[in-house]
Amino acid sequence: EEIRFMICPELCVSMPLSDVMLPHEAIEIVGALQYSKYAGYGGSLKCAGPTDLAEEKAKAPLDALKRHKIRIVAFDALPMPDRTVQYGAEGVMRELRKAVVAFSPNSADQLPDGGEVEEGRL
């Protein structure tokens, strides 16, 4: 997730504008383009130069509101060092509720259109 914010700096604007999410909430961000490439992960992560912005824009057609058709949905995860809590009934139900909210369209233009889903590692 931190990598996505690094390569798509427009996402950083969402941080001060978004409240802490409630257990039944997710945050959708539309139109954030990727401005830089990266290599590695974790301790070996490094910038691999700028992206070809024209190519990025060409990959993401515009929606009805003239935004690039890139949707990023964030739903918070809780730190759970104890796996018995994480994989217990309450922990699993919390994560399932968040996933349902995150992947449910809230309008007709958000219905699945063959888009990609990424999580964690890009």
Q: Tens digits of per-residue pLDDT, 71-107?
A: 888 877 777 788 787 788 888 888 888 888 887 776 5
Averaged pLDDT for residues 54-71: 88
The pTM of this model reads 0.71
Q: What is the DSSP string of 49-108?
A: EE--HHHHHHHS-B-TTS-BS-EEEE------S-HHHHTSHHHHHHHHHHHHHHHS-SSG
Instruction: Give whole-number Cα distances, 113 to 37, 46, 109, in Å.
Output: 26, 33, 9
How many whole angstroms separate alpha carbon 88 and alpha carbon 121?
25
Q: What is the DSSP string of 5-32?
A: HHH-GGGGGHHHHSPPPPTT--EEEE-P
